[in-house]
Amino acid sequence: MTFPFNFFAAAFAGAFLTTLLALPFWRRWCLRTNLVDDPGHRKIHNSPIPLAGGFAVLTGILLPLAVGALLLKLGFIKLSTTSAIIHGIDRRKLELAVLALGAIAITMLGWLDDRHELKALPKFIGQLLIAIAVAAACKRITLFVHSEIFSYAITILWLLTIINAFNFMDNMNGLCAGVGGIGAALFAIIAAANGEYLVAITGFLMCGALAGFLPWNFPEARAFLGDAGSHLVGYLLAVMAILPHFYNKQNPHRLAVLSPLLVLAVPLLDLAQVSVFRTLNKKPFWIGDTNHLSHRLTRTGLSRTQAVLLLWLAAAAIGAIACWPA
């Protein structure tokens, strides 16, 4: 079976251009509806910034995905892998529908948080309900433990952890989107190498959408992801870590299931260290502060841009280990 580089490139380019062009529309909508991040405590911007990134990224993923699926079904796209991709869509159509609805739901939950600054408990309940729905409808983590209860529990815990890791890490221009895009690209490469082309296409769509958002957010921000965007990025990467078969006949090493931990090492480390720090200081771990990895790097003398670039490099370098042949 021929490796569909052109199709992957088209998925990336379509998502990139869609997000890049959709952003001005969503930016104007946010300004008109006052969905903005105002200057204030722990913030360096001096004027309101539209929280348009989440909606633009969601548009950049779902619109090309829907158009591509329609073109495949109608026979306008012909590749040696077309039949395999169509078969994957047909076989996983319920799963794909739930994942797409989950992406919309988690974005709307983040939008409610952006709009109304939800308290921690209602936001957690919303995240939990979405995680339960995804665990019920889609493939679940097993970790070689033959227990359905364990499988449900570890899958829900994983989804909640990654969603909040990226929500926590959205504290500097380009950080969440950049690390998210790198993670999506790495998961796409792993899936493509294993012949899981539908999963790979989803990863390249996500990577392209986040790349299309970055010119609006880094190094100077004209739009933010907002909680809508950071929730979406975390949700999609949590799902991307579940869908591929990391342990299979081509890669029969049980340690391969640790690949998602390598791909997402930077956000997980950031979540762990900041949660421990806040707990030791007897503060709620969900209350923001300036003790993230990015903040610690700037206190060493790096600029904010340099700190973000260094964390991008760390995410790519550590995550690349997961792509290395065993």
Q: Return the pLDDT at 306.
A: 98
Q: Return the pLDDT at 255.
A: 53
Q: Which residues have C-beta within 8 Å of that of residue 282, sequence separation ≥ 6? A: none
Give 45 or 48, the one with higher predicted confidence: 48
Show the beta-strand stretches assigned E in the chain: 36-37, 49-50
What digits encode the pLDDT tens for the residues 55-90?
A: 999 999 999 988 887 877 777 666 655 666 666 666
Give 216 or 88, the one with higher predicted confidence: 216
What digits encode the pLDDT tens for the residues 100-143?
A: 999 999 999 999 999 999 999 999 999 999 999 999 988 788 87
Percent of the chain with pLDDT over 70: 87
Residue 250 has pLDDT above 60, yes or no: no
**Backbone dihedral angles phi then psi of residue 175, each to the nearest 5 degrees:** -70, -55
Q: Return the pLDDT at 69.
A: 78
Q: Return the pLDDT at 245.
A: 59
- The separation between CA 105 and the C-alpha centre of its own chain, rounded to angstroms, equals 14
Distance CA 208, CA 74 (A): 24
pLDDT confidence tier of residue 40, bands split at 50, 70 and 90: low
Q: What mean pLDDT do residues 186-191 have? A: 92
Q: What is the pTM of this model?
A: 0.92
The average confidence (pLDDT) of the chain is: 88
Give the angle subtended at the CA of 309 by the CAs of 303 and 311, to the nearest 5°. Answer: 105
Q: Return the pLDDT at 131.
A: 96
Distance CA 133, CA 48 (A): 35
Residue 206 has pLDDT above 70, yes or no: yes
pLDDT confidence tier of residue 230, bands split at 50, 70 and 90: very high
Residue 1 has pLDDT above 50, yes or no: no
Backbone dihedral region for residue 42 (phi beyond 0: left; psi -120 to 50: alpha; all else: beta): left
